[in-house]
Structure formats: structure tokens, C-alpha cells
Amino acid sequence: MQIYQVERNDFCPCGSGRKYKKCCLPAVEEATRAVGREVGQGLTAHGQEVLATVGFICGLKWGEDIKPLEPSRVGRLLKEAWEEEDNISEKAFGDFLENIRNNYIRLLQEKPRLHMTRIPPDILLEVEAHQESEEELKECLAQVVAEMVNDDDFISGCIIDIAYSLHYDSYTDEEMKTLLSGLGMIINKDTREGFIEAIMSVTMEEFDATMEKIKALQDSTGEEDPEFIKKLMEILEDHIAFGDYFYTKLLRGSITAMEAIIKKEIKLNVPFYALARGVYTLKKIPGLFENDWIAECLWEENEAEHFLPAIYQVLEENRASLKDEALAESLEKFIFASQVGVVINNPELIEKLYHLCVYNFLKNPLETAPDTGGVFTSIEDLYKEEKVARYAEALKARGLEKEADYVLAQFRTLGRDYLTTIADANET
């Protein structure tokens, strides 16, 4: 199967913003020809598909800091892998595939860029629900593998993982031949099942090992110990695939809390200082649906340093005040999920909360930011230097020196810049 469906006039998948024909297409075509010269003529339909995929992997720009693949080396090793396969007798072919599978498992375990090539968390939760007996578990696993053979999104993701690994990880010739053989296995539906079984095997082994670490942590520390959460987060950070599963499981238990937040039964009254950059930035862009500003403000400009402790405190205060035990438990899972998401580099939940808080502030600053103490009575006040200075002084009086300096810095850069833009527009 092809991992790309890119027309000449489409935007290039490398993310440059240029059309494919004027960006990576020439390099992809040249890489495909170079690999083809090494492997030779007379390829089967499957061989042609592998060649096209390898050419795409070699030619596309997968990142600024990557080391380019040498198409001639890749082609030579692909040819050697195919020749070794052709020379295996029919009787020994099963053992040959098993050897490739075992070597591929080792690569999945050892190569950093292949650590995310694991069974998706929603499928693992389905497997988890069928563990009442060993027989039931075996049937469930067999059914899952059979279904994943036809899951094009999962297969494409695995091939893209291979592409990144080839560019970023170091490979000996033998290791690269194993990976190219694995690529051929996953492209071919007839051999794909063995590839998925290898991923399932690695996933389950890693999950068992991670659960043992967490159990040992529980036994040695206890869940009430403040160090427990810190050390648990370290385990999840080191085992991202398990962290993704853990995150997904928490989210499923957080639906009631999410609904309460949407209905404003749980109020997100976050201080202005935790939203300042987002508020000033959003006033400058055309619409709420251009969301690049969220990641820029939170992570690149590090407003997360102020937003994360503020939103966690607000959510925890809500949880502590709830009389509905089921909702309180759901909110507890929601808070935990948002923390885990940041640790495993899946901050979508926090980013949505941030977006919602900024939007709510712009809609009603007096209601959603009670910490302003009446200093700001309208959005326009955010652009009045004397009012911003008064707010900063109020923060300092509460011992929030760092937060006060942060607000002043945002006003002096973004706030004044916005005023200048408006003034220039009025003059014209």
C-alpha cells in the first residue's frame, strides 16, 4: 500500500508550504530511480510498490536536522534482502520469516524512533476488557490482529515510523536489511499479520514490564506519598506507548467532567496573568479557528509556566468543592489525564483548556478572572498602561512578583504593538 496520495499540485507532505512538484517530488523521483538502478528490472507488482515507498522515504525531507539516506546503499541492501529471500527453500521459508520477525522485534525494542510503533491504546483497552480467561484473551488478540491487517491508518503510521527511524537512527547493513524486509512484509497483505503480531508481542511485553515498575513503586512509596506522582510521571515519560494507553484510559473516565466543563458547571476562573500572552495574541489574529497561536503561546513562549499551575489549582479547587462523588472522581481523572498528556508530549487536553480559558476571558473578563480586583472593567482596559500597572502592583502585593513582571512584559511587547497597529490603521 502507498503511504502517500500526493498529486503534483498538492501541498508537499514535508510541511514546507510549497507545492509537491516544486518541493520534494524531484528528489523523490530521483531517489526512486537510484534505488531502482540498484535492485534491477523485472519487479513484481509488490516489488514496484516497495520500490515506490522506499523512493518516497529516501527523497522526502523528513526534518531539518536529519542525515539524508543514500539511495544507492538502500537499493543495494534491498536487493540483497530480496535475493536472500529468493534463495530460501519453500521448506525453510517459515523459519526465514520467523527469523526476520525476531530481528524486527529487536529493532522495535532498541531503535528510539521505533518506540512509538506499538498497538494503539484504544485497541489495548479492548484487549484489557477480555482478560477473564486465557482462552478469551487469545481469541481477542487473534481478532485484533486480523482487524489491524486492514487498518490502513495504522499501517501507514507504521511505515512512517520506519521512515523516520531510517533517517534518525543508526543502522548497520544487516539491521537495515531487516527493516526493509519488515517494510516489505507490512506492504504485502499476505505477510502483514506476522508484522502486526511482532508489534503486539513487543507491546504486551513492555506493558507487563511497565506495570511491574508501577507496582513496585506503589509497594515502596504508596500512592499517598507526594513522591509517587513524580516518580510515576518519570516512568510514563520513559515508556511513552504505555503513557499513551494510560492517558487514553484516564480520558475515558473523564467524560462526565468534560461535559460539566462544557456546560460551565465547572468554572475555569483562571487568573489573567496565566493567560496574558494568549489574550493579547488572540486579539491580533482574525479568528478563533487559526489555532497555531495556542502552541506558540503555551510552549514556544512558555506561558505554560504560569498557566499549568493556575489551571491545576482551579480544577483541584472545583474537585474539592463538589458534592457529587461521581463527578469529583471523573474530574480527578481529568486533572490526572491533563498532567499525563503534557509528560508524554500529547498536550491536546491542556491546549483545549487554554483555548477555552482565553476565549472565556475575552468574552467576560470580570466573571472569568476575579483576580483582577476590579482593575479591568473591559477588554479595552488591558491596553491602558496605568491599569496594567495597577494590576501588576496588586499582584506584587500578594507576593506574585514573577507573575507581575510577566504581565508587564506581555503588555510592553504585544499590548503596545497592538495599539500601534490600530493607530497606523486609523491614520490610513
- Same domain for 196 and 229? no
- Same domain for 267 and 416? yes
* Domain assignment of residue 360, yes or no: yes
Cell of residue 216, nine digits: 513496585
- Same domain for 206 and 319? no
Which stretches within 149-288 are classed as H helix? 152-168, 173-187, 189-221, 226-238, 240-252, 255-262, 276-282
pTM above 0.85, yes or no: no
Q: What integer pLDDT is reported at residue 1 of this predicted model?
A: 54
Q: What integer pLDDT is reported at residue 320 of this predicted model?
A: 95
- Same domain for 210 and 273? no
The C-alpha torsion from 154 through 355 and 399 to 318, rounded to 10°, is: -80
CA atoms within 13 A on the CB side of 272: 32
Give the pLDDT confidence of 224-269 residue by residue, as tens digits.
Answer: 777 888 899 999 999 988 999 999 999 999 999 999 999 999 999 9
The C-alpha torsion from 364 through 368 and 373 to 379, rounded to 10°, is: -30
Split into its structural domains, the chain has a count of: 2
- Contacting residues for 396 by C-beta, under 8 A, at least 6 apart: 404
Q: What integer pLDDT is reported at residue 266 of this predicted model?
A: 94
Cβ neighbour number for residue 419 with a 10 Å cutoff: 14
Of 168, 194, 214, the last residue of a domain is 214
Angstrom distance (rounded) from CA 117 to CA 105: 11
The radius of gyration of the chain from alpha carbons, rounded to an integer in Å, stands at 27
- Same domain for 210 and 242? no
DSSP string, 9-25: TSBPTTSSSSBGGGTTH
pLDDT tens series, the chain, 428 aa: 566 678 899 998 887 889 999 999 999 999 999 999 999 988 999 999 999 999 998 998 887 777 778 999 999 999 999 999 888 877 888 888 888 889 999 999 999 999 989 999 999 888 888 777 788 888 888 888 888 999 988 998 898 899 889 989 999 999 999 999 989 888 888 888 888 999 999 999 999 999 999 999 988 887 777 788 889 999 999 998 899 999 999 999 999 999 999 999 999 999 999 999 999 998 776 554 567 899 999 999 999 999 999 999 999 999 999 999 999 999 999 999 999 999 998 999 999 999 999 988 888 876 666 666 678 878 888 889 999 999 999 999 999 999 999 999 999 988 876 655 544 444 54
* Domain assignment of residue 12, yes or no: no
Angstrom distance (rounded) from CA 298 to CA 360: 17
- Same domain for 82 and 34? yes
- Same domain for 289 and 207? no
* Domain assignment of residue 303, yes or no: yes
Q: What integer pLDDT is reported at residue 126 of this predicted model?
A: 84
* Domain assignment of residue 315, yes or no: yes
Q: What is the three-class DSSP state of 276? A: helix
- Same domain for 240 and 161? no
Q: What is the three-class DSSP state of 61? A: coil
- Same domain for 181 and 228? no
- Same domain for 49 and 132? yes
User: What stretch of H or E contains 109?
Assistant: helix 93-110
Of 172, 188, 214, the last residue of a domain is 214
Angstrom distance (rounded) from CA 237 to CA 246: 11
* Domain assignment of residue 14, yes or no: no
Angstrom distance (rounded) from CA 318 to CA 339: 16
* Domain assignment of residue 8, yes or no: no
Angstrom distance (rounded) from CA 337 to CA 175: 37
Q: What integer pLDDT is reported at residue 424 of this predicted model?
A: 47
* Domain assignment of residue 288, yes or no: yes
Of 214, 248, 263, the last residue of a domain is 214
Print burial letters for 340-378: b (CB count within 10 Å at least 16), e (below 16): bbbbbebbebbbebbbbbbebbbeebeebbebbeebbee
Cell of residue 362, nine digits: 475575552
- Same domain for 209 and 241? no
What range defines the domain where residue 37 resides?
Answer: 20-214
- Same domain for 287 and 333? yes
